């Protein structure tokens, strides 16, 4: 089943990027558009602090907010460790 797209193009592009990195996106919530979930969700992954990130419906600056979402995806501790391990092999 496909999810509904975010109304802001920049944020939707960041969500597509997160999906390509393996992050799961759940749409819906009382005060948010949805949430993104880290594919690893382990204890070492920044102590679980950033394994779930809320996605706002109407960010004040969609471009900056999209950049922040990409930064959350790119800075996933477990993903970085796996990339380093693969590059050393």
Q: List Cβ neighbours of 14 (8 Å cut-off, separation of 6 or more).
A: 65, 66, 67, 69, 70, 73
Q: What is the pLDDT of residue 33?
A: 96
pTM: 0.84
The pLDDT tens digits of the residues spanning 21-35 come to 999 999 998 789 999
Q: What is the pLDDT of residue 1?
A: 58
Q: What is the pLDDT of residue 49?
A: 62
Q: List Cβ neighbours of 8 (8 Å cut-off, separation of 6 or more).
A: 58, 59, 62, 65, 66
**For residue 34, what are the β-bridge partners?**
27, 55
The pLDDT tens digits of the residues spanning 32-80 come to 999 999 888 776 665 556 678 999 999 999 999 999 999 999 888 888 8
Sign of CA dihedral 64, 22, 4, 57: negative
Helix (H) or strand (E) holding 86: helix 77-88
Q: What is the pLDDT of residue 48?
A: 57
């Amino acid at each position: 089943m496909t999810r509904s797209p975010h109304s802001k193009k920049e944020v939707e592009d960041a969500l597509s990027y997160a999906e390509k990195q393996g992050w799961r996106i759940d749409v819906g919530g009382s005060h948010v558009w949805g949430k993104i979930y880290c594919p690893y969700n382990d204890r070492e992954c920044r102590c679980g602090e950033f394994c779930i990130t809320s996605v706002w419906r109407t960010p004040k600056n969609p471009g900056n907010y999209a950049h922040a979402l990409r930064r959350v995806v790119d800075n996933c501790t477990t993903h970085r460790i796996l990339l380093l391990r693969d590059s050393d092999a």
